[in-house]
Amino acid sequence: MDCIFCKIIAAEIPCFRLYEDEDTLAFMDINPASEGHALVIPKEHFPDVHVVSDAAIASTVVTAKKIASAINKTLNPDGMNLLQCNGPAAAQSVLHFHMHVLPRRDGDELKLNWGLAPGDMDAIGELAERIRENL
Ligand code: DGP
């Protein structure tokens, strides 16, 4: 299947991996909307919330909580959004169900549909290591 996240799960393309269990994978977003932006996905492929299984969404949310906690310890942000997008108007760009874990800073003015811009891979990799230490 031509799905970038399925390829990440299969280790066909690299990622800054944070956590993995039988059902889910968490890794850093390479187009971060904020410092520490991470993604959590079910290993089973579902395009969006309308078709994801109850088991897959449940395990994804549990892993997102774990990742949010580790990011909180690592970066001590002022807030955090757990966000999930479906369809073009909601700016879903990857059709594999995923949750964004988005650390927030006071006054960062982050809006929905924030747009994709590549991050600094060295900084993202270094941050992934720090977050993993807090898992
Ligand atoms: P969404 O726009 O809600 O579908 O979010 C998809 C996110 O996935 C977006 O923030 C950018 C990120 N992304 C896209 N391709 C890759 C990739 O190859 N690796 C990683 N780590 N993130 C990716």
For residue 27 and ligand 1, the question of a CB distance below 6 A is answered with yes
Instruction: Report, in angstroms and rounded to the nearest whole number, the Rg of the chain calculated over CA atoms.
Output: 14
Q: Give me the residues paired with residue 79 across strands.
A: 104
Give pLDDT, residue 103.
Answer: 98
Phi first, then psi: give them for residue 75, nearest 5 degrees: -110, -15
Distance from C-alpha of 107 to C-alpha of 80, rounded to nearest angstrom: 13
Specify the pLDDT at position 1. 74
Which ligand 1 atom minimizes the distance to the CA of 16? 21
* Angle between the N-to-C axes of helices 54-75 and 121-133, in degrees from 0 to 180, rounded to the nearest 10: 100
Asked whether 85 lines ligand 1 (CB < 6 A), one says yes
Which pTM does this prediction carry? 0.97
Ligand 1 proximity of 93 Cβ (cutoff 6 Å): yes
Render 61-122 in DSSP notation, one character per residue: HHHHHHHHHHHHHHH--SEEEEE---SGGGT--SSS--EEEEEE-TT----SS-------HH
Q: Cα(122) to centroid of ligand 1, in Å?
A: 17
pLDDT at residue 33, as a whole number: 97
Low pLDDT (below 50) residues in the chain: none
Q: Which domains does the chain have, with CATH numbers?
A: 4-105+118-127 (3.30.428.10)
